[in-house]
Amino acid sequence: MLEQSYYDKADEIISTYGPNPASLIPIMQDIQAEYRYLPAELLTYVAGKIGVTKAKAYSVATFYENFSFEAKGKYVIKVCDGTACHVKKSMPVLEALYKKLGLSPEKHTTDDMMFTVETVSCLGACGLAPTMMVNEEVHPRMTPEAAEALIDELRGGEKE
Amino acid sequence: MIHLKIDGIPVEVEKGTTVLAAAKKIGVKIPTLCYLENLLPDGSCRICVVEITANGRSWVDTACTAQCSEGWEVDTMSAKVVDSRRKTLDLLLSEHTISCFRCEANGDCKLQDLCVDYGVEKTSYSVEQKAKPIDDTNKFFTYDPNKCILCHRCVNTCNEIVGCGAIDTMNRGFSSVIGAPFDDTWFTSKCESCGNCVAACPTGALSMKRRKKYRKYQVEKKVLTTCPHCATGCQYYVLVKDGKVVDTEAYNGPSNKGLLCVKGRSGSFDFAQSPERLKYPLIKNKETGEFERATWDEALDLVASKFMELKKKYGSDALAGFACSRSPNEDIYMVQKMVRTCFGTNNTDNCARVCHSASVSGLAMTLGSGAMTNPIEDITQKPDVIMLVGSNPEEAHPVVGMQIRQAVKRGCKLIVVDPRDIGLAKRADIHLKLKPGTNVAFANGMMHVIIEEGLQDDKFIAERTEGYDKIKEIVKEYTPERVAEICHINADDLREAARMYAKADKAPIIYCLGVTEHSTGTEGVMSMSNMALLVGKLGREGCGVNPLRGQNNVQGACDMGAQPGDFPGYQKVANPEVVEKFEKAWGVPLNHTPGTHATDVFPKAITGEVKGLYIYGEDPVVTDPDTTHIIKALENLEFFVIQELFMTETAQYADVILPGASYLEKEGTFTNTERRVQRVRKAIDSPGEARLDTDIIIDLMNRMGYPQKHMTAAEIMDEIASLTPSFGGISHARLDSEEVGGRGLQWPCPTKDHPGTYIMHVGKFTRGLGWFYPAEYVPSAELPDEEYPIILMTGRILYHYTTRAMTGKTPELMEIEGKSFIEMNIVDADKLGIKNGDKVRVSSRRGSIESTARVGTKTSPGESWMPFHFPDGNANWLTNAALDKYARIPEYKVCAVKIEKA
C-alpha cells in the first residue's frame, strides 16, 4: 500500500485536468514527473477516478516508452544512441557508465536509487554528438572519462 | 445523398456511409478481420482495403474507415488491392504460428480462409518468431498470443459491447499481446468468463477449451433454443455430436443481440448430460427408507391411486401441485390442468410465489397486467435515464446488465437504488444506498419532491389515472429529510434523483427482487408504478415499469395459470364465467374456490390440512425461507411425489420420484421477462427411462380417471391458444415461421395475424385507468435488535443459478465460485474481531450456519449479504418466512442475524 500522500497528490493532479478519460496521459505524465515513475496502485486509482478501465490505463502506459512502473533514480541519465551519436562512439560512454555504476541493459537503476541509465534513440542534438541528458540537462560531446567524472561530481554534490 | 460506383455498380448512400457499408448494401463482399458491426471501425487489420479512383487519381484505402464521396469509383478486387491483401496476410503470418493441424480453429478460421483465398501459404519474411507465453488460466478458454493477429475484436467486444473492460492491448510493437493489466492473469482479472471475446476471435488465439473435444465438421446438427437460466431469454444454438451437446453458439436474438453470459454459454448443457441425472422411477421403501427402482407402470399406478385415495378421504383441497418455472409453458399448462381436473382443487402454484408474485399481483392491481411493460432493447437503447431499483442485472440478468452498461457508455444517466455497492453503482450518476426494506419510503420521497417542484405530468394524471389526490396527501408527509432518515440516504441525493428521473424525456424503472421479496413487496411494486404514473412514463417507448423476472419461464408459469387464483392468461378463478368456460372446455366440473398459495401450503402441511403434494421441478428445501419449517412440512405429508431431473434435497423426502426431461430433450416454449414467447427445441434424447414431462402428466391424468388424449407440445400450445385470449395468436408453427423470423411473439397476441405487443398500456391501461396505490411505509417484519443486530439480505451471484442443480454440474463454475460466503461491513467486522476470509457462524432466530466472511464496504454498517446457492451454509436456514399480505411472497431480503467468529 502506498502512503495516503500519494493519493492526495493524485487527486490534486486529477483536479488540474478534470476527471475524464481524455486526461489520462497528462495525469500520468505529472505523476511520473512527481515520483519519477508510475506507481501501479496509483495508476489503478487514477483509472477508477477518471472512468477508464485499469486495463486501458495499463495499455496506454505500456505503449509509451517514457512511462515506467519501476522507480527510477534521482538522476536519470539518457545516453543517446541515435545514428549520429552512435558513429561518434556513444557506446563506450554507455559502457563506462554501466561499469562505473554496476548497471546493465537489464538493471537500470543503482540500489541506492541515485542513478538510472537508459538509452534513447535521438535527443535532437546531433551537432553535439555524442550527447546524453541528466534529468533535464543536456551534456554535449561526451567521452567515457567525462561521463565518469560527471558521476563523481554528482555524487560529490550529494555528499556536501 | 452521395453517388458512387462499387465494382461498376452504381450505389446511392447517405453522407458519412463507409465504403464497407455501401458495398454491403449492394451485396458486394469485402473481406474483414478486425471490423465489428455497430462499433467505430478499428481499421487495424488492413484486409478490407479497396482501390478508390476520383478526380484522376487513385489510391488504396481501408473500406471500413473511408467515407464515401460523390463520384468515387471503387474497385474491391483490383490487382493493387489483391497485392496489398496478400502482403498484409504475409505480414500477419510472419507473426502467427502455423499450427493449423492442432489448432482448435482449424477449418473455422478467418485468417486460414483468407490465406486460401489469396494463395498465401507461408510468410516470405525470415523472422524467427519468439514464443510468447500462453494464458491458460481462464476456466473455460485459452489465449495463445502466438496465434493472435492483434485485430482487437476481443478487446472491443469486452470494452464496448460487453462493457466489462477486463482486457486490452499491452505493450507495443512486436511484444504486443492481449491481456489483463499488471500481474493479473485472465483468471485473476475482472473477466466474467462470458466468452463473447472468444466468439469474436477470427483465429484460434482465443478458443474454448471444449473445442479440443470436437472438430467443426463432426457437428451433426445445430439446434436453435432458448437459455434455461434467467428470464432474459437469450437465443443460442446447441451443437450436437454423437447425440451429445458439445458446445453452444450465440444467436442474434431479440433480447440478447448475439451476446451470452458465462452461464448461458458454458453452464447450460453439462447438467443435462450429467451422470447424476435420474434415469428410472423410484419408489421409497417405507421400511428401509431407501429408494428402489420401479417400472413406470408401478410408479404411475401408485401415484394415481394414492392421490385419488387421499382425495376421497380428505377432500380435494387436501391436495396440491406445483409447476416448475424452469420448464416450458406446455408442461406447466398440463400440470395445472391435472391439478384442476384430477385433484379437483386450485391449489396450484409456481416458484414466482417466492420471487416476483408481488410484481404479478401489484402491477395487475395498478396497471391491469403483471408483466414488464417494455422490451429489453427499448429500455436500454432509447432512454435518457435508467432508474434501477433493487436489481443487480450484471449478476442476475447478465446480458441485460451488458446492455445497461452499453447505455451508460452512450451517455444515458443511471440512478441505482440498492443497499449494496453493486457493479453498476460504480457507473451510476446517483447511487442511493438505502437501508433494505425501505423502498416504499424512498418512492414516496421521490414523489414528494416531484410534486413539490411541480415536475409531475398533470395531463397524464388527469386523463389516464385515478387515486392521485389520495397519494398526494400521503406523500406530503414524506419530506426528503424524513425519508433520508428512514432510508439512511442523503436528502439532496434523493432530490437530485427525483429531478433526474422526472425531467428525463424517456426513463424506465427497472426493478427486481430487492423490491418484491419483502413482507411489503406488493406495496413496493405498486410504489414503482406510482412513480411512473406520476410523471407519465408509461405506455411509451424507453419508459415503463419493468420487473426483470427471475427464471427462464417464470413469466410463463404465471401466464399458464399455475396460480391458485388464476386460470391461464390471468382469467380469474373468482369469476364464475371463467370457471364455466374451462369446465366446458375440459369437460369436468371444476372447483370454484381460489386455492392456497405455495407459501401457505407448507404451514398447512404442518397443521395437517394438506395431505398430498405433487411437485414438478422445485427444490423448496433449498430455496424457500426457513428450511426447518419446510422440512417439517414435507415430513408431515401423507404422500409426496416429485418429478425431477436430479436427486435434490427436496426429492430425498419424496415417496415417489418420476424422472423427467431437460429443456434439451423436448419441444416447447419459454416466455421471457419481456413477455416474449420463444421456442425450445429438442436436441438430444433423455437418459435411461426418463420421459417427457407432458407424457408423464397425461398418463397420470388418464390413470386418475380423466380422459386426456395424448398431445404433442405443439398441440398443447394450440389448446392454450384456444382458451387464453392473450395467447390466441401463438402456435409453434407460427413461432417457427419466416414471418416471426426467430423473434418470438410478445403477448398479448390475440389473433393469428396479430404481431404481438411490443409496449404495453399504449393509449390505455389494461385495467382502464392507472391506479395510484396509497402506499405507506411499513418497516420490515424482523428488525435488528440487541441479540441479532445485523440485517441479512440474500441474493444471487453471476456464476450460479438458484439451487445450483444445473450450474453446479459444470465443474468450472464450481471452481470459480463454489462455497458459501457472507459480505459484511468492515466496521462490524472490526467490532467482532473478524477478518476477511475468516470462518464465521451466522445465526438467526430460525437457524445457524457456517460461512466465510468477505469484509469490505459493499454493504453498509449493520447490514450483510449472502448468496443462497451453496449447501455448505445455505442462507435459507436463517431467512424469515414472513409473508406479504397480497402476494404471500416471503421476506428473503431482510432478517436479523448475529455473526460470530467460528
Q: What is the CATH number of the domain that holds B827?
A: 2.40.40.20
**Bigger pLDDT: A129 vs B61:** B61
* Partner residue facing A63 (CB), from B172, B182, B190: B172
Q: Is residue B763 part of a domain?
A: no
CATH number at residue A23: 1.10.10
Instruction: Convert the pLDDT of each residue in B75-118 to its tens digit.
Output: 999 999 999 999 999 999 998 988 898 899 998 999 999 999 99
Residues of A with Cβ-Cβ distance to B169 under 8 angstroms = 59, 63
Query: What is the spatial distance between Cα B720 and Cα B725, in angstroms, rounded to a whole number?
Result: 9
Q: Is residue A121 part of a domain?
A: yes
Q: The domain containing residue B632 runs over which residues?
A: 307-354+553-636+668-720
Among A120-124, B486-490, B719-723, the minimum mean pLDDT is found in A120-124
Q: Is residue B361 part of a domain?
A: yes
Crossing angle of the two packed helices B439-452 and B480-487, in degrees rounded to 10: 160
Crossing angle of the two packed helices A90-101 and A144-159, in degrees rounded to 10: 40
* Partner residue facing A56 (CB), from B165, B172, B182: B165
- Domain end: A19, A34, A63, which one? A63
Instruction: Convert the pLDDT of each residue in B170-203 to its tens digit.
Output: 998 888 999 999 989 999 999 999 999 999 999 9
Distance from CA of A74 to the nearest CA of B (A): 25
Examine the pLDDT at B803 and tell me if it is beyond 90: no
**Bigger pLDDT: A77 vs B130:** A77
Distances (CA, A) of B188 to B136, B139, B164, B166, B392: 12, 11, 14, 10, 22
If asked whether residues A59 and A79 sit together in one domain, one would say no
Contact state of B181 with A63 under an 8 Å Cβ cutoff: no
- End-to-end, the C-alpha distance of chain A in Å comes to 33
If asked whether residues A154 and A80 sit together in one domain, one would say yes
pLDDT attached to residue B258: 95
CATH number at residue B34: 3.10.20.740
pLDDT attached to residue B697: 97
pLDDT attached to residue A130: 93
Examine the pLDDT at B876 and tell me if it is beyond 60: yes
- Look up the ipTM and state it: 0.86
- Domain end: B38, B53, B77, which one? B77
Instruction: Convert the pLDDT of each residue in B422-431 to its tens digit.
Output: 999 999 999 9
Determine the average pLDDT of the residues in B195-218: 94
- Domain end: A24, A42, A63, which one? A63
Residues of A with Cβ-Cβ distance to B166 under 8 angstroms = 53, 55
Of all residues in chain A, the one with the smallest CA distance to B408 is A51
If asked whether residues A154 and A83 sit together in one domain, one would say yes
Beta strands B612-616 and B319-322, pairing class: parallel
If asked whether residues B422 and B490 sit together in one domain, one would say yes
Write the CB contacts of B230 (distance below 8 Å, at least 6 apart in sequence). B263, B396, B397, B398, B548, B550, B551, B552, B801
pLDDT attached to residue A159: 53
- Measured in residues, chain A has a length of 160
What is the Cα B837 distance to its own chain's centre? Answer: 30
Examine the pLDDT at B237 and tell me if it is beyond 90: yes
Q: Is residue B370 part of a domain?
A: yes
- Domain end: B22, B55, B77, which one? B77
Determine the average pLDDT of the residues in B159-177: 93
If asked whether residues B858 and B715 sit together in one domain, one would say no
If asked whether residues B703 and B807 sit together in one domain, one would say no
If asked whether residues B381 and B341 sit together in one domain, one would say no
Q: Is the dihedral of CA B222, B226, B229, B233 positive or negative?
A: positive
Distances (CA, A) of B477 to B437, B488, B779: 19, 17, 16
| Counted domains in chain B | 4
Instruction: Convert the pLDDT of each residue in B327-376 to its tens digit.
Output: 999 999 999 999 999 999 999 999 888 888 888 889 999 999 888 999 99
Contact state of B181 with A55 under an 8 Å Cβ cutoff: yes
If asked whether residues A24 and A96 sit together in one domain, one would say no
Q: Is residue A10 part of a domain?
A: yes
If asked whether residues A53 and A24 sit together in one domain, one would say yes
pLDDT attached to residue B603: 93
Residue of A62, A66, A67 to mutate for B, most B C-beta atoms under 10 A:
A62
If asked whether residues B529 and B561 sit together in one domain, one would say no
If one counts every other C-beta atom within 10 angstroms of the C-beta of residue B285, the result is 10
Contact state of A56 with B170 under an 8 Å Cβ cutoff: no
Determine the average pLDDT of the residues in B315-319: 95
Measured in degrees and rounded to the nearest 5, phi and psi for residue B408 equal: -65, -40
Q: Where are the alpha helices (DSSP H) in B535-616?
A: 554-559, 576-586, 598-607
Beta strands B2-6 and B656-659, pairing class: unpaired
Determine the average pLDDT of the residues in A42-47: 94
Q: Is residue A69 part of a domain?
A: no
Q: Is residue A70 part of a domain?
A: no
* Partner residue facing B181 (CB), from A54, A64, A65: A54
> Does the beta carbon of A121 lie under 8 angstroms from any beta carbon of chain B?
no
Of all residues in chain A, the one with the smallest CA distance to B180 is A55
* Partner residue facing B172 (CB), from A54, A56, A62: A62
If asked whether residues B398 and B480 sit together in one domain, one would say yes
If asked whether residues B798 and B825 sit together in one domain, one would say yes
Q: Is residue B406 part of a domain?
A: yes
- For chain A positions 86-115, those within 8 Å of chain B (CB to CB) are none
Residue A160: which pLDDT band, with cuts at 50, 70 and 90?
Answer: very low
Contact state of B189 with A55 under an 8 Å Cβ cutoff: yes
Determine the average pLDDT of the residues in A19-40: 93
Locate B287 and state its grid cell: 421400511
Query: What is the spatial distance between Cα B78 and Cα B75, in angstroms, rounded to a whole number?
Result: 6
Q: Is residue B745 part of a domain?
A: no
Which of B126, B291, B265, B242 has its CA nearest to residue B195? B265
How does the average pLDDT of chain B come out, rounded? Answer: 94
The proportion of chain A whose per-residue pLDDT surpasses 70, expressed as a percent, equals: 98
If asked whether residues B419 and B317 sit together in one domain, one would say no
Of all residues in chain A, the one with the smallest CA distance to B183 is A40
Distances (CA, A) of B682 to B667, B721, B732: 5, 22, 13
Measured in degrees and rounded to the nearest 5, phi and psi for residue B818 equal: -135, 5
Q: Is residue B163 classed exposed, middle or buried when 0-12, 13-18 and 19+ CB atoms within 10 A define those classes?
A: buried
Determine the average pLDDT of the residues in B32-60: 94
If asked whether residues B872 and B826 sit together in one domain, one would say yes
> Does the beta carbon of A2 lie under 8 angstroms from any beta carbon of chain B?
no
Q: Is residue B346 classed exposed, middle or buried when 0-12, 13-18 and 19+ CB atoms within 10 A define those classes?
A: buried
Q: Is residue A68 part of a domain?
A: no
Measured in degrees and rounded to the nearest 5, phi and psi for residue B415 equal: -110, 125
CATH number at residue B628: 3.40.50.740
CATH number at residue A114: 3.40.30.10
- Domain end: B31, B51, B77, which one? B77
pLDDT attached to residue B624: 86
Examine the pLDDT at B153 and tell me if it is beyond 60: yes
If asked whether residues A89 and A109 sit together in one domain, one would say yes
If asked whether residues B388 and B475 sit together in one domain, one would say yes
Q: Is residue A154 part of a domain?
A: yes
Locate A116 and state its grid cell: 538510472
pTM score, whole prediction: 0.93
The proportion of chain B whose per-residue pLDDT surpasses 90, expressed as a percent, equals: 89
Examine the pLDDT at B720 and tell me if it is beyond 70: yes
Of all residues in chain A, the one with the smallest CA distance to B166 is A55
* Partner residue facing A55 (CB), from B165, B171, B172: B165
If asked whether residues B598 and B715 sit together in one domain, one would say yes
If asked whether residues A116 and A155 sit together in one domain, one would say yes
> Does the beta carbon of A40 lie under 8 angstroms from any beta carbon of chain B?
yes
Instruction: Convert the pLDDT of each residue in B560-581 to its tens digit.
Output: 999 999 999 999 999 999 999 9
Q: The domain containing residue A133 runs over which residues?
A: 75-159
Examine the pLDDT at B405 and tell me if it is beyond 90: yes
Q: Is residue B191 part of a domain?
A: no
| Counted domains in chain A | 2
If asked whether residues A48 and A123 sit together in one domain, one would say no
- Domain end: A13, A36, A63, which one? A63
If asked whether residues B514 and B401 sit together in one domain, one would say yes
Contact state of A53 with B189 under an 8 Å Cβ cutoff: no
Distances (CA, A) of B754 to A53, B375, B540, B571: 46, 17, 19, 21
Query: What is the spatial distance between Cα A108 and Cα B676, in angstroms, rounded to a whole number?
Result: 63
How does the average pLDDT of chain A come out, rounded? Answer: 91
Q: Is residue B672 part of a domain?
A: yes
Cis peptide before B871 (omega within 30 of 0): no
Write the CB contacts of B210 (distance below 8 Å, at least 6 apart in sequence). B140, B246, B247
Contact state of A62 with B159 under an 8 Å Cβ cutoff: no
Instruction: Convert the pLDDT of each residue in A45-59 to its tens digit.
Output: 999 999 999 999 999
Residue of A42, A59, A64 to mutate for B, most B C-beta atoms under 10 A:
A59
